[in-house]
């Protein structure tokens, strides 16, 4: 697996916000895990492609 540095920003959880994120060429994401509160993020699509 390749090592990658991703930058993400916190986003709104509404459907309208998700549509706007997709129009901005970003990907909506959720960070979740044990003992942490879910965090809604957006990641720029260009950060995931080579």
How many other CB atoms are there within 10 angstroms of residue 39's CB atom? 14
What residue spans of 1-50 are helical by DSSP H?
A: 15-23
Sheet of 36-44, strands arranged across: 8-10, 36-44, 26-33
Token pair of 26, please? 């970003």
8 Å CB contact between 28 and 48:
no
CA 41 to chain CA mean position, Å: 4
Output the pLDDT for position 45.
86
pLDDT in tens, 1-49: 566 677 787 888 788 888 898 999 888 888 899 998 988 888 888 877 7
How many other CB atoms are there within 10 angstroms of residue 40's CB atom? 19
Q: Where are the domains of the chain?
A: 8-47
């Amino acid at each position: 697996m390749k090592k990658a540095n991703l930058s993400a920003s916190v986003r709104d959880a509404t459907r309208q916000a998700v549509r706007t994120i997709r129009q901005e060429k970003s990907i909506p994401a959720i960070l979740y895990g044990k003992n942490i509160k879910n965090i809604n993020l957006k990641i720029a699509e260009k950060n995931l492609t080579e």
